[in-house]
Structure 1
Amino acid sequence: MALVYQTIHRRASSLCCRLHSTYVAKMRYMFELKENDDICRQAQNSGTFYLFHNFSPFLQKIRGKYLVPQINATEIKKILEKFRQNEQRIEDSVLIGCSGDCLAYFALDLGSMERSVLESGLEGSFTELQQAFFQLDEKDTHLLSSAQALLRWHDNHQYCSKTGQPTKKNLAGSKRVCHSSGIIYYPQMSPVVITLLSDGNRCLLVRQASFPRGMYSALAGFCDVGKEASDPVLNAYIHSYFIVFCSVGNLGLGVKSLGDL
């Protein structure tokens, strides 16, 4: 029995070491891609690309489920050539991750091109991410969310807030630099607190008019500077009280007053 236990323990330890080693290798490779434009350029030539149009990802819907086409660099260059775009546009892409085998993932927004023409040529559609969110694989959801946020950040930070001069991204898209002042801008996260209110058997959910049909959410809010983690949640409940009452009344949660929350 002891021998069996030792064998299982060794195998588990070996698997854990391999997983840890893979993760470390990925993180080191990602760091190199972000810091070295030459290495990143090589990765673009062998990497996988996700296409966007004004922050909407390119998807294909098959049997009621959304699939995310993964396009390699050769195919991207053919697409750009087909629509009379300079293949250097591939360098407008941003790095969004890599696989366990260190295959880099990039996102490229083609918002300056005609949407309908692109869709007809690519046999798919640029779809609002919120609409397709729950019909995507978990891996794709994570990558597309990261890509959309990073692409939007670059679009909103094309100029230096101090000098007003244009900023330029590095090849990986991990930062933007104002060469006039030397200021380096990095993508920033906005902390969000989300809370599920439950009585043990039921939970309180709300929805916005912009949500796809059938989609609900727990209440959440942004955490401002100097605020406690509980503040955004309390504010969300206060500001959404009447919406909560109307939205969940048919669910039988019996929300009657703010004190009952």
Structure 2
Amino acid sequence: MKHAEQVTFGGSALDRAAELRPEADALRARPDAQAIVLWRGKPLMWEPDAAALVRLPASEPALESARAWIFLGREGEVPVFAADLSNWEPDGDLSDFGAFHDPSRQVHPDLPDDTAFAELRNRMTHLTPRDAELAATAKGVLEWHRSHGFCARCGEKSDIAMAGWQRRCPACGAHHFPRTDPVVIMLITHGNDVLMGRSPGWPEGMYSLLAGFVEPGETLEAAVRREVVEESGIPVGQVRYLASQPWPFPASLMFGCAGEALARDITLDPAELDDALWVSRERMMAAFDGTDPKIKPARAGSIAHFLLRNWLADTLD
């Protein structure tokens, strides 16, 4: 696909400098070292529009309480880290934290006044490709550390190692590495129509492409066919890969694929989907324009939105 790496979180060509991870402590001590900052998965962004990541000196006093540091890579010769301030307890109402559309912003009293922690999903389309990749990488790795604090082999508490890119068990010596879950997301077409579905709990009117986790021993093509027939009863013939997207909510790599439906009759699995329907190009264009009375398009910034937009523009190849 010609535009594959233009998807959100892809294409910034960050130099991850993995060979420097054993030297991370010395790199962080350099006067030019920078840090992006996260609180419970929400990156620190400039206010009022929250359209850019904040980069602070790694020596910033407010970061001394960070519970984890991740070496993300180099921008030119400048080492860039992620600092996790999730131990901080903000004042105020946190009832919106973790909601599907979390509009809340948390202002840290010891960080610059014109900054706040903001939900990445709400701001990802405003970020530069570099800021988006840094935020996605930091969020994904820090979430893995949060949920994998104990050794999967022996159950003992493990330690962060290799600049945040490993956990090591002091009891049995096992090494563990950040997890990424492969997920297929499918642009399934039949003639002029595309198959859309909505999951339980989504905002009213929101529809997207069907998606599901790849199972052990399964190819991407097989996963596409299995997931579509399980959720909608639609058999799928030819399948081809289009593009991928890191999706750190919490730890997926989305494989965008195109598939040709062999039938149109939908048999819905209510445990998986609230609804599924065929949508014509013309109606999808109206949904993107905001003029369809029922359908809202997939979330801007998601690979579903990206694939649908390229399908409408006839630029999938």
Matches within 5 A, 1:1-261: 26=15, 30-43=17-30, 45-62=31-48, 66-74=51-59, 76-77=60-61, 79-80=62-63, 87=64, 89-90=65-66, 92-99=68-75, 101-116=76-91, 119=107, 121=109, 122=111, 123-170=114-161, 172-198=163-189, 203-208=194-199, 217-241=208-232, 242=268, 243=273, 245-246=275-276, 252=283
Q: How many residues were matched structurally?
A: 216
SS in 2 for 1:67: coil
Structure with more strand by fraction: 2
Counterpart-to-counterpart distance in 2, 1:214 and 1:135: 24
In 2, distance between residues paired with 1:230 and 1:109?
38
CA contact (8 A) 1:40 1:172 kept: no
Greater displacement, 106-115 / 192-201: 192-201
Q: Secondary structure of 1:165's match?
A: coil
Change (3 A) 1:126 1:204: farther
Counterpart amino acid of residue 77 in structure 2: C
* Structure with the largest fraction of helix: 1
Distance 1:249 1:196, change over 3 A: closer
Deviation at 1:172, TM superposition (A): 0.9
Higher relative contact order (CA 8 A, sep 6+): 2
1:180–1:37 distance in 2 versus 1, CA, 3 Å: farther
Given residue 112 of structure 1, which amino acid in structure 2 is its aligned partner? N
Cα distance, 1:206 vs structure 2: 4.2
3-state DSSP class of the match of 1:68? coil
* Cα distance in 2 for residues equivalent to 1:185 and 1:163: 12
SS at match of 1:52: strand
1 CA distance for matches of 2:199 and 2:187?
17
Conserved 8 A contact 2:198-2:276: no
Cα shift at 1:153: 0.9
Spell out, residue by residue over 1:190-233, the C-alpha distance to the aligned partner (whole angstroms, 9 max, x if none). Answer: 22223323457654444546668997643332212101212332
> What secondary structure, in the 3-state scheme, does the structure 1 residue paired with 2:107 have?
helix
TM-score for the superposition, normalised by structure 1: 0.67
RMSD of Structure 2 on Structure 1 (CA): 3.4
What residue ranges of structure 2 are gaps of 5+ in the alignment?
Answer: 1-12, 93-105, 233-267, 285-317
Q: 1:149 to 1:204 in 2, by over 3 A?
A: same
SS of alignment partner, residue 115 of structure 1: coil
CA contact (8 A) 1:32 1:39 kept: no
Give CA-to-partner distance per residue, 1:93-120, whole Å, 9 cap, x none.
Answer: 1112221x12122112211112348615
SS at match of 2:164: coil
Which structure has the larger Rg over C-alpha atoms?
A: 1
For structure 1, list consecutive stretches of 5 or more residues without a partner in the other structure. Answer: 1-22, 81-86, 254-261
Using the aligned pairs only, state the percent identity. Answer: 25
- CA-CA distance at 1:91 after TM superposition: 7.1
Distance 2:205 2:55 in 1: 29
SS of aligned partner of 1:93: strand
Q: Sort the Cα spacing of 1:213 and 1:148 in 2 relative to 1 into closer, same or farther, 3 A.
A: farther
Which secondary structure state, in structure 1, belongs to the residue aligned with residue 185 of structure 2?
A: strand
Q: Residues 162 and 111 of structure 1: is their aligned pair in 2 closer, same or farther, counting only changes over 3 Å?
A: same
